C-alpha cells in the first residue's frame, strides 16, 4: 500500500480539510475494506445515482439504511435461524456486515428498495439556488441615463 503525505495540502489551502480527511480515510481503509457484500454504484441521470448491494438471504427486517455524518451506512444482522438445521455445504453467506458510503455535498438519499436480493439506494444531487450559476446585469451609465446590459 502506498502512503501519501497530505501535509502540503493543509499548508497551502484553507477549508479543504474535509476533502483531505476523506482522501486519508479512503486510502487507509482501502486495505481493510472487505469485499462482502458486493455492490455497484451507478449514475442513473445527470444528478441521480444508485447504490446496489447484493443482499441475498436478508429480508427488509434484517437490513438497516441510515444517513449519518454525511454518509450512507448500510448494516445487516441476520437472526439465528440455524437451530435444528444441518448443512452439508454452506455457500450462501448471511453474515452480518456494515458498509459505509461517503456522500458529496448536496447529495441526499431519496429512498431504498429491496428487489430480488438486491438493495437499491437512490441518491439525488440537489444544488441550492444560491450555488447555481446566475447571470449578473451590468449597468452602463451614459450621462444621466442608465442602460442595462446583459453580460
Q: What is the pLDDT of residues 3-56, one digit of tens each?
A: 667 677 666 666 666 676 777 766 665 555 568 899 999 999 999 999 999 998
The reply to whether 45 and 115 lie within a common domain is yes
pLDDT exceeds 70 at position 123: yes
The reply to whether 17 and 40 lie within a common domain is no
The reply to whether 75 and 42 lie within a common domain is yes
Q: What is the pLDDT of residues 63-88, one digit of tens each?
A: 999 999 889 999 999 877 767 888 89
The reply to whether 49 and 93 lie within a common domain is yes
What b-and-e string marks burial along 125-143, b requiring 16 or more CB atoms within 10 Å of the CB?
eeeeeeeeeeeeeeeeeee
d(CA 107, CA 48): 9
The reply to whether 29 and 40 lie within a common domain is no
Ranking 57-61, 102-106, 119-123, 146-150 by mean pLDDT, the lowest is 146-150
Q: Could you tell me the residue range of the domain that residue 65 belongs to?
A: 35-150
CATH of the domain at 50: 2.60.40.790
Strand partners, 148: 139
State how many domains the chain has: 2
Q: State mean pLDDT over 106-119.
A: 95
The reply to whether 41 and 9 lie within a common domain is no
Q: What is the pLDDT of residues 124-142, one digit of tens each?
A: 999 888 877 888 888 887 7
The reply to whether 21 and 77 lie within a common domain is no
Strand bridging mode 97-102 / 71-76: antiparallel
**Which ranges in 2-150 belong to alpha helices (H)?**
7-12, 17-29
Q: Which residue has the higher pLDDT, 101 or 32?
A: 101
Amino acid at each position: 500500500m502506498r502512503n501519501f503525505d497530505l501535509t502540503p495540502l493543509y499548508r497551502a489551502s484553507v477549508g479543504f480539510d474535509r476533502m483531505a480527511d476523506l482522501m486519508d480515510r479512503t486510502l487507509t481503509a482501502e486495505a481493510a475494506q472487505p469485499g462482502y457484500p458486493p455492490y455497484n454504484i451507478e449514475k442513473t441521470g445527470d444528478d441521480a445515482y444508485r447504490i446496489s448491494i447484493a443482499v441475498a438471504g436478508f429480508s427488509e427486517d434484517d437490513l438497516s439504511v441510515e444517513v449519518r455524518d454525511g454518509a450512507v451506512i448500510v448494516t445487516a444482522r441476520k437472526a439465528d435461524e440455524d437451530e435444528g438445521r444441518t448443512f452439508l455445504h454452506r455457500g450462501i453467506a448471511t453474515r452480518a456486515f456494515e458498509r459505509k458510503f461517503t456522500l458529496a455535498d448536496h447529495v441526499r438519499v431519496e429512498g431504498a428498495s429491496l428487489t430480488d436480493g438486491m438493495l437499491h439506494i437512490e441518491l439525488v444531487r440537489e444544488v441550492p439556488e444560491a450555488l447555481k450559476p446566475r447571470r449578473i446585469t451590468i449597468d452602463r451609465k451614459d450621462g444621466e441615463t442608465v442602460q442595462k446590459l446583459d453580460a
